[in-house]
């Protein structure tokens, strides 16, 4: 009935305007001092202030308009229309696509150096993405599969890197020996750190692991004799091609294979190296998922009490997850050390743990493909915004909040069962209970 809808539309408009006005008022309160006023260190060292009320007005206006758009019928019907366009079977369709997507990812990963051979920048970015993908795979075991909140994963990355650097420097062993050693040491660190704390409840475990991450960083920073303190360790041996150094010399890689020397050779080798490590991590994880330990991890995530009631030693299960994740983090750290040639505690801050955690959670807990996609999107996006240097992190944080609110199950939100009797069905993540929604009170 036209008259009814007319007045209800008017009412709706009024309410929307009031709502937007409230939002604008709140924005004014929030931003009036921190944006409206700018503090700078003046010539005498004391602070001087200047006003930026123009900027403040612009931002408040933007909030007003934005809020209006969010509330108005336009937006709602827009989202309705979009929602109708996406069929309800989208998740099972997506699951099918997942297999093709995985293959596509793999292929593009394999040929990336060829495509970007002349562009050092993209090659470096590719190495960065694959490194974080590997870290994501490692943390995925702990957080995605076993459901343990680890906020200090960077500790194992650091242990791996520093172990590699120190062993390589003091004992002069080759990369291929130091890498597994670094991984083992990281795994041991995982056992040591995990043992006392794995019986803690979810949130507490998160904070404790955060604490561990910081403790490791502070020790690395302050134990000058061992770690070089804030100066770190430099001059770490660069990798060789199974004994052939990547130099212009006659016994070098280029000369041996009849190619003209190019510094890119080493970079390409590094890329394939980290790719191999990441693929190995992926393979191991997929195998483990089909073994009892992997199933126990996932069951642990779903319901720890039921696990214990079935005779599973959940402490050992958690420790195994922790140690495996730590080991892969250690491998990644060792790679990082040899790639950079130089490491310092600055590379191992909490921000790294947060980034890897974001990659795992936003990729879709437990999903390997999701991790790869998330790493690409986040690091790629990060790079794309390079011009907005300062705003990058801000947008990153806001994106984290937005994604976890609007797509909480991550980008790939289906789970493939590890064993099937008749016909595999992808399990929508909404059914899975990772770490039970109610707070454990």
Q: How far is the CB of 298 from other proteins (least distance, A)?
A: 6
**Residue 320, Cβ density class (10 Å: 0-12 exposed, 13-18 middle, ≥19 buried):** buried
State how far the alpha carbon of 31 is from the alpha carbons of 49, 56, 294, 398, in Å. 15, 7, 49, 17
Nearer to other proteins, 228 or 252 (CB): 228
| 181-210 residues near other proteins, rule: CB under 8 A | 196-197, 200-204, 206-208, 210
- Tell which positions 284-303 bind other proteins, by CB under 8 A: 284, 287-288, 291-293, 295-296, 298-299, 302-303
Which spans in 47-89 are helix H?
53-71, 73-85
Contact 247, 81 (CB under 8 A): no
Nearer to other proteins, 119 or 313 (CB): 313
Whichever of 41 and 118 has its CB closer to other proteins, that residue is 41
Look at the alpha carbons of 270, 276, 281, 282 in this order and tell me if their dihedral is positive or negative: positive
Residue 21 contacts other proteins per CB under 8 A: no
Scanning residues 31 to 70, which ones bind other proteins (CB under 8 A)?
Answer: 32-35, 37-41, 45-47, 49
**Nearest distance from C-beta of residue 306 to other proteins, angstroms:** 4
SS3 at position 50 = strand
Strands 233-234 and 342-343: antiparallel
Residues from 219 through 248 that contact other proteins (CB under 8 A): 219, 221-222
Binding-residue pattern over the window 300 to 329 for other proteins, x denoting contact by CB under 8 A? --xx-xxxxxxxxxx-----x---------
Distance between CA 375 and CA 137 in Å, rounded? 10
Chain centre to alpha carbon of residue 343 = 20
Min separation Cβ 363 and other proteins, Å: 12
Residue nearer to other proteins on the CB measure, 165 or 434: 434
* Residue 407 makes contact with other proteins by CB under 8 A: no
**Binding to other proteins, residues 361-400 (CB under 8 A):** 361-362, 390-391, 393-394, 396-400
Cα 314 from chain centre: 26
The answer to the question of residue 76 lying near other proteins (CB under 8 A) is no
Q: Which is nearer to other proteins, 234 or 418 (CB)?
A: 418
* CA separation for the pair 406, 421 (Å, rounded): 34
Number of residues that bind other proteins (CB under 8 A): 104
What phi-psi label fits residue 242: left (phi over 0), alpha (psi between -120 and 50 degrees) or beta? Answer: left
């Amino acid at each position: 009935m036209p008259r009814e809808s007319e007045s209800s539309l008017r009412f709706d408009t009024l309410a929307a305007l009031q709502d937007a006005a409230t939002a604008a008022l709140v924005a004014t309160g929030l931003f009036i001092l921190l944006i409206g006023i700018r503090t700078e260190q003046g010539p005498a060292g004391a602070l001087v202030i200047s006003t930026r009320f123009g900027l403040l007005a612009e931002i408040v206006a933007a909030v007003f308009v934005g809020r209006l758009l969010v509330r108005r019928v336009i937006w709602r019907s827009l989202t309705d229309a979009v929602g109708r366009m996406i069929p309800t079977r989208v998740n099972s369709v997506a699951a099918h696509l997942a297999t093709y997507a995985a293959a596509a990812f793999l292929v593009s990963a394999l040929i990336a150096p060829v495509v970007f051979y002349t562009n050092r920048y993209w090659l470096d970015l590719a190495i960065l993405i694959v490194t974080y993908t590997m870290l994501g795979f490692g943390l995925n075991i702990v957080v995605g599969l076993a459901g343990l909140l680890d906020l200090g994963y960077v500790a194992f990355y650091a242990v791996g890197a520093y172990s590699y650097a120190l062993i390589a420097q003091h004992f002069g062993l080759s990369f291929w020996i130091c890498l597994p050693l670094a991984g083992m040491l990281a795994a041991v660190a995982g056992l040591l750190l995990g043992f006392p704390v794995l019986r803690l409840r979810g949130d507490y475990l998160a904070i404790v692991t955060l604490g561990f991450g910081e403790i490791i960083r502070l020790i690395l920073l302050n134990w000058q004799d061992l770690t070089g303190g804030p100066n770190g360790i430099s001059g770490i041996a660069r990798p060789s091609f199974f004994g052939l150094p990547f130099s212009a010399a006659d016994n070098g890689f280029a000369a041996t294979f009849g190619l003209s020397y190019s510094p890119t050779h080493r970079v390409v080798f590094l890329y394939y190296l980290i790719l191999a490590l990441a693929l190995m991590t992926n393979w191991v994880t997929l195998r483990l998922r089909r073994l009892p330990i992997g199933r126990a991890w996932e069951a642990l995530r779903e319901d720890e009490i039921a696990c214990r009631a079935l005779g599973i030693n959940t402490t050992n299960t958690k420790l195994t997850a922790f140690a495996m994740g730590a080991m892969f983090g250690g491998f990644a750290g060792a790679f990082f050390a040899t790639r950079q040639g130089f490491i310092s505690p600055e590379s191992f801050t909490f921000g790294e743990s947060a980034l890897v955690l974001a990659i795992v959670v936003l990729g879709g807990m437990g999903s390997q493909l999701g991790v790869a996609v998330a790493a690409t999107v986040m690091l790629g996006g990060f790079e794309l915004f390079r011009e907005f240097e300062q705003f990058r992190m801000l947008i990153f944080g806001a994106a984290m909040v937005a994604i976890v609110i609007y797509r909480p199950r991550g980008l790939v939100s289906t789970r493939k069962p590890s064993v099937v009797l008749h016909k595999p069905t992808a399990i929508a993540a909404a059914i899975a209970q990772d770490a039970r929604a109610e707070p454990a009170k």
